[in-house]
Amino acid sequence: MAETRKLTDGQRFRSAGTRHGLVALALFLSWTAADSWYLATGLMLANLLSILTALVVGAWLASIIHEWGHFAGARLSKSYAPIVPDVRGIFMFGFNHGKNTRNQFLAMSLGGNVANWGLMLLVLMLIPIDNGGRAALLAMTFAKAVSVSLFEVPIMMRVMSGADSEQAIEDGLGNGSGDRGTVLGYVSGAAVWLLAA
């Protein structure tokens, strides 16, 4: 049996970037196809498909961008954050709480939040919000940014006040703040959609 060649971190980085980049491109193209169909025909079915596709695409793009934001924050702060050997889903790297400092954890955490709000601003600036599907894309990216911030900012605040980063995450997962953040994120996204559509 041949021994599997171990990939370097740089090779795993390129593999993860390629995989996530192709997924993001395919997602965005699926939404633009539905949006174009609606613009060309004005059909109600095309409008509905554009809205539904925008919700799915916005959620997945926000998740991918969020993970890369965390990764950028980790690497920019020189954290020990190796890319996992086989990236199959969204999660692509490990953050070692024991080997990294509090400031490195905060940089990693902040990166994910900045990435989500940056994506929402890009949608707002680059895409005219003049139909239901485009409003849905903005609404979903806004919802995900709110959701992430409501969960992660309190954790960051506790860590800034001296809490252990790993324990702060466990506390956040255990006290339901993630679920509350998700609900409030979707409610705020729905409000944005109603205002923008």
Measure the CA–CA gap between 184 and 56, rounded to whole angstroms: 18
Q: What are phi and psi of 79, to 5 degrees?
A: -70, 155
- Whether pTM > 0.85 for this model: the answer is yes
- pLDDT at position 2: 44
User: Of 145, 142, 147, nearest to 127 (Cα)?
Assistant: 142
SS3 content of the chain, % helix, strand, coil (to 5): 75, 0, 25
- pLDDT at position 6: 80
Q: Please write the tens of the pLDDT for every residue from 45-72.
A: 999 999 999 999 999 999 999 999 999 9
Q: Please write the tens of the pLDDT for every residue from 70-116.
A: 999 999 999 998 888 877 788 889 899 989 999 999 999 999 999 99
Q: Please write the tens of the pLDDT for every residue from 18-34.
A: 899 999 999 999 999 99
- pLDDT at position 5: 64
- pLDDT at position 3: 44
Q: What is the DSSP letter of 97?
A: T
